Each structure stands twice: as C-alpha cells, then as structure tokens.
Amino acid sequence: MTPYDALRTGTVNAALALREVDSIGTIDVGKRADLLLLDANPLVDVRNVNHRVGVVLRGRWLPERELETRLESVARAVSAADRK
C-alpha cells in the first residue's frame, strides 16, 4: 500500500464506509473542520503523520503542546483507575 493509499483509506474511504462522505473525509466547504497539520509530507513517508504540529478539531486549533498535555492527563487518569 502506498502512502497515498493509506491516507485515503483513513480519510475518504472511512467516510464512505461510515456513509458520512457529505460531512467528513475531505477538505471542502460545509464539511467538519477536522484537520491534522504536519511538518513533514506523509505522501513521501506515511510515518510522517507522527510529525504533528497540531490539529483543528471542530474548527478549533489545538497546538501539539496542548495535545500532549491532554494525552498525559488521560494517561494519568487511566493509570489511577487501573490502581483502584
């Protein structure tokens, strides 16, 4: 599978499978504003999706630093729940 095929599978093809192609899967007017901003081209190497700068979630910008803070908080909460 090429990087393009992998990215398409996780975007357009996923939207088609969920029957949500009118609202997600591609960048277009009227669709949900959920985007991943990278500092490396995933078409060159699909592993570049790990080079995240931030995301736009429902139209709101979340920089990488905030994402890391949120993920750490979730990990702490899960760890605390596991200890109970």
Nearest to 10 by CA among 18, 32, 48: 18
**C-alpha to C-alpha distance for 78 and 14, rounded to whole angstroms:** 28
* Angle at alpha carbon of residue 10, lines to 7 and 15, rounded to 5°: 125
Are 12 and 25 in contact by the 8 Å Cβ rule? The answer is yes
Percent residues over pLDDT 90 in the chain: 85
The pLDDT tens digits for 24-61 are 999 999 998 889 999 999 999 999 999 999 999 988 99
Architecture of the domain made up of 3-83: Roll (2.30)
Contact assessment for residue 20 and residue 7, using Cβ atoms and an 8 Å cutoff: no
- Give the global pTM: 0.73
- What is the domain partition of the chain in residue ranges? 3-83
C-alpha span between 51 and 45 (Å, rounded)? 11
Helix (H) or strand (E) holding 81: helix 64-83
Is the model's pLDDT at 82 over the cut of 90? Answer: no
